[in-house]
Amino acid sequence: MAYLIFSISLLLIYMGLAQLLHVQFGMLGIPNFGVVGFWGFGMYGVAVFNVQFGWPFLFALVITCLLVAILAYGLGMLILRLEGQAILCATLAFSAIVTLLVITEKWLTFGVVGLGTIQYPVRIGAATEIIYFMLLLLIIGSFQLAINKLHQSRLGRLTIAIRDNEELAASLGKDTFKTKLILFTLTSCLMGMLGGLSAPLNQFLTPNMLVPGVTFAVWIALVLGGKENTFGAMLGVFITFGLFDILVETYLPVSPEYAVMVPNFKLFLYGAVLVAVLVYRPAGILNNRQAHTRWPNADLS
Amino acid sequence: MKIRVRNLNKSYHLHPVLALQEAEFGAYELEGLIGPNGAGKSTLMGLLTQRIPPTSGNIWFDIDGHEHNLRTMRVHEVARLGLVKTNQRIQGFESLSIRDSLRLAATAHSQETLRGVLDKNQIDDDIESEIDHYLSLFSFSNPNGYALSGGEKKLLDILRCLVLKPRMLLMDEPTAGLPDDITQQVMRLVVEKARAQQMRVLIVEHDLELIWSFCDYVHFLSDGEMLFQGTPENVKKNRVVAEKYMGV
Ligand SMILES: Nc1ncnc2c1ncn2[C@@H]1O[C@H](COP(=O)(O)OP(=O)(O)OP(=O)(O)O)[C@@H](O)[C@H]1O
Ligand SMILES: [Mg+2]
């Protein structure tokens, strides 16, 4: 039971990441391939402040979020004027640097030995995990509400315009760079917050949690569900993470000699589902519209 | 209201495509900019709006006696000053409906903020009635849907610029891709606004009849150089223009 709660709590974290990536890529066209960098920085930041410095969890979380925001702002200043492919490479490199620093800066992170234990901020005996899960549910729910609101707002309309044709939006007097920078900073900071909230879930952190696989899982979810709406992204997470990681990996009865094959089989199925979706529903499972998914900035017509 | 240009140069890979010593645009209500294909007309308009960075040179935008140096500005800042351009090649927002596209143009940037997301009322009645007005003037096949044909997209591009209420409108081949009757309608509207002193207009066109009938002053550009400027009568009579452009 405890493991199930842990799994679906993590599922919620991934859903949150997918929602935020939906804003970054689905609404603004920023191909952030460094999701794990922001998330991981948040997770390790909270762990270091909490375990090494002895700061209370909430304080550690707030300070970490601030740091991630500053980092995202700086990175955004550097890359958000660039073409899509360059942003992709830069964010991927950013996340690689975060992982590398976590491994090498042993005095802070204990490197590959691992860092722990991060306690839940509030402990109410056996109910702790459930209450924490509820908290996450509340956060993901409010993300959903906020993004819905954004979709209906003037700012949301501007983001769509920027995604479709940034140069044209600028020629209509829109400060596209500033808009992208503000929203990129905010959403990346929230990715860091989700990372911070993941720290007590995992309790004990090791650098191998910060693999690009996290980024890819969120991206696959976004492509599966469709980048045009958040429900799509959340459904995508449910299929990839929920179905495969939780159900298949944990609860499918397989004999021990085949158990080692399960993770590989999972990757294979990820791929197969992804290809099937791209072939039959290029705009995502939830999207009826014809292939509308375009690579940003690849429009040379 | 006028744009003043000084020693403006643009080269691609050391190959000069535009070299203007000195020029002024916007002294008259309606001006034309003509010249052969590849003369640099679109390049000049792109330079004026800062969409294309110049190799060297300066551009000033004079508004009521106050000079703004456009060289130090970014594209959106130039647009906010009221210098706006319609596009020769079709441009648009494929996920925005016709109405949303016009709303986007008409909405002030001060409302497109994070705080604005919390506003209860996202519909602005003044903007809506203005958009209704434009949509009643022109017949889109589905005014509440998306711009479908190339002509509709081109028309929408022009309407987006008009909704911005520019001080000076640059039009890069507005008639290319538009059906004749729509062209007439667009021109009537643009001329009306120019004559009412609501904006100045600079038009690039290959349709010379249109230039002769609407423009007060015409600039002739060839191989990146301003070879002649004058009233339509003088330009028509000019030998250089005739040789280089009208194929006489
Ligand atoms: N991005 C670019 N790179 C290299 N050369 C360019 C570029 N843009 C324009 N040119 C060249 O600059 C010259 C001027 O082009 P421009 O588009 O300004 O001409 P134009 O007068 O608008 O012609 P048209 O009437 O055909 O629209 C052309 O020779 C063109 O090939
Ligand atoms: Mg041109």
Mean pLDDT, consecutive 10-residue segments, chain B of 248 residues?
94 94 94 94 96 95 94 96 95 95 95 90 88 94 92 96 96 92 94 95 94 94 92 88 74
> What pLDDT does B216 receive?
96
Residues forming CATH 3.40.50.300 domain(s) in chain B: 2-91+166-246
Model ipTM?
0.94
Phi, psi angles (nearest 5°) of residue A244 = -80, -55
Contact residues, chain B, for A153 at CB < 8 Å: 116-117, 119, 122
Ligand 2 center–CA A189 separation, angstroms: 44
Per the CB < 8 Å rule, is B79 touching A179? Answer: no
Contact between A225 and A236 (Cβ < 8 Å): yes
Q: Is B10 on the interface with A (CB under 8 A)?
A: no
> What pLDDT does B248 receive?
52
B87 lines ligand 1 (CB under 6 A): no
Specify the pTM: 0.91
- Sequence spans of domains, chain A: 2-211
3-state secondary structure chain A: CHHHHHHHHHHHHHHHHHHHHHHHHHHCCCCCCCHHHHHHHHHHHHHHHHHHCCCCHHHHHHHHHHHHHHHHHHHHHHHCCCCHHHHHHHHHHHHHHHHHHHHHCHHHHCHHHCECCCCCCCCCHHHHHHHHHHHHHHHHHHHHHHHHHHHHCHHHHHHHHHHHCHHHHHHCCCCHHHHHHHHHHHHHHHHHHHHHHHHHHHCCECHHHCCHHHHHHHHHHHHHHCCCCHHHHHHHHHHHHHHHHHHHHHHCCCCHHHHCCHHHHHHHHHHHHHHHHHHHCCCCCCCCCCCCCCCCCCCCC
Contact between A3 and A62 (Cβ < 8 Å): no
Contact between B54 and B8 (Cβ < 8 Å): yes
User: Which residues of A sit within 8 Å Cβ distance of B?
Assistant: 146, 149-150, 152-158, 160-161, 163-165, 167-176, 179, 182, 186, 292
Closest CA–CA distance from residue B212 to any residue of chain A (Å): 29
List per-residue pLDDT tens for chain A, 301 residues long.
Answer: 788 899 899 999 999 999 999 999 999 999 999 999 999 999 999 999 999 999 999 999 999 999 999 999 999 999 999 999 999 999 999 999 999 999 999 999 999 999 989 999 888 888 899 999 999 999 999 999 999 999 999 999 999 999 999 999 999 999 999 999 999 999 999 999 999 999 999 999 999 999 988 898 898 888 888 777 788 888 888 887 777 777 776 777 777 777 777 777 777 877 787 788 778 777 777 765 544 433 333 333 3
Per the CB < 8 Å rule, is A171 touching B51? Answer: yes
Q: Is B121 helix (H, G, I), strand (E, B) or coil?
A: coil
Of B79, B85, B112, the CB nearest to A158: B112
> What pLDDT does A290 receive?
45
Q: What is the CATH number of domain B2-91+166-246?
A: 3.40.50.300
Of B94, B117, B119, the CB nearest to A164: B94
Contact between A197 and A190 (Cβ < 8 Å): no
